[in-house]
Amino acid sequence: MQRANRASIEFSLTWQSGRARHCERLYVPTVDFWRDIFPGELGAVTAALQPGQSATETFDAGVLVPAHEDRKIIRFKEAQFDRVQGGRSLTPRLGRFYPQGFAWSALGCFRGDYTPFRLVGLDEGVMVADTNHPLARFPLTLAATYVEKLGPIEERGGTCNHIAEAVTNSGPGMQIAYPDVPTDFYTPYPLPRQDDAGDADYYRLPRMVAHLDATAIAHVTSLYGRLLAPGTRVLDLMSSWASHLPTALHSCTVTGLGMNEQELRANDRLARWVVHDLNLKPSLPFDHGQFEAAVCTASIEYLTRPREVMSEVARVLKPGGIFVTTFSDRWFPGKEIEAWSDLHRFERLGYVHDLYASSGVFDDLHTETIRGWPRPADDPHIRQTVTSDPVLAVWGRARR
């Protein structure tokens, strides 16, 4: 019998790709320092911390995840890729991730294997799959922040957390492009939607709804508070009845651009607002360099011509001005671009990151993900999942 030393910990995995700095935050509500498996010396160091303190350790490539191996890059006949999934015909696209079970006979797995592979070659009936972990080539830094000490319990067996697997599985690394293989996010363009009817009628009636649970909204608000400076002029792009800016930014002058006048009038953070349909006219009705910052919350998935909008946002920002995009796993069904619901969560992050990287008008790129926090007990979706809506973010600065 063992009396467990337990705590709630938030782990942060940070790494650098060629174009951006990345951070993956994962909250683990119950860490057992006696039972759980930590990499390196992180477990012993973290166990000695007090709430609010952090410990950090850096690992070479191939330590937290399996090292890259050329043998895991596999060529196979295109006919071995099952194009029919869930009654729908699937068109494989370069740079995208697919479950290995879609090509089970070629990759030596079973049909229900959802471990992702990346399609890195497609030519003359031959596909090339990279089944390496997408983080296999990167040095990784793992930090543990001690959130809360939990009371000890008597333990007789049970399960354990494998910390390195917990923080690296389920998507981290999928948000960056493969070397020399641009990801095909944009075929066809403009991007189609299931409901491609005009947006003016769809948004005619106000929807005073929260797109995220309260925990996720608090994370978005905290992120904006961290990245935006007081007293700046902020464009709230695709705005609604709430802007999710912290009270510490009360001195900011916020301009909202959205689709419904009643929603915009209800937003008490807006100094002024304008109704404007970006899918009908992606140009922004503002002067060059009019804002020091811009935010877009839970809306990027609705844009059918996002490349033009990205250029416009850079135009209306002062040089060095920041543009922050946040989103999650909920949207108005049918109004999102068709590919959005088919993409893995971290591929959606990759799509938004690519909008910044390929636009040629943003530098100093970052991505951040926040997962695993508990959903509020009074949230209407608590029966579907006890975990809060994940928050995914990309930001960059208008090129000087």
**pLDDT value at residue 273:** 98
**pLDDT value at residue 155:** 64
Averaged in consecutive runs of 10 residues, what is the pLDDT profile of the chain (400 residues)? Answer: 77 96 98 95 96 98 98 97 91 96 97 96 96 98 97 72 96 97 96 91 90 96 98 98 96 98 97 98 98 98 98 98 97 95 96 97 98 95 94 96
Please give the full DSSP string across 85-136, using - where no structure is assigned. ETTEE----TT-EEEGGGGHHHHTS-TT---EEEEEEEETTEEEEE-S-TTT
* d(C-alpha 193, C-alpha 196), whole Å: 5
**Residue 266: exposure state from Cβ atoms within 10 A (0-12, 13-18, ≥19):** middle
**pLDDT value at residue 157:** 61
**pLDDT value at residue 153:** 75
Domains of the chain, start order: 2-65+138-168 (3.10.50), 70-130 (no CATH), 199-398 (3.40.50.150)
The string of pLDDT tens digits covering residues 204-237 is 999 888 889 999 999 999 999 999 999 999 999 9
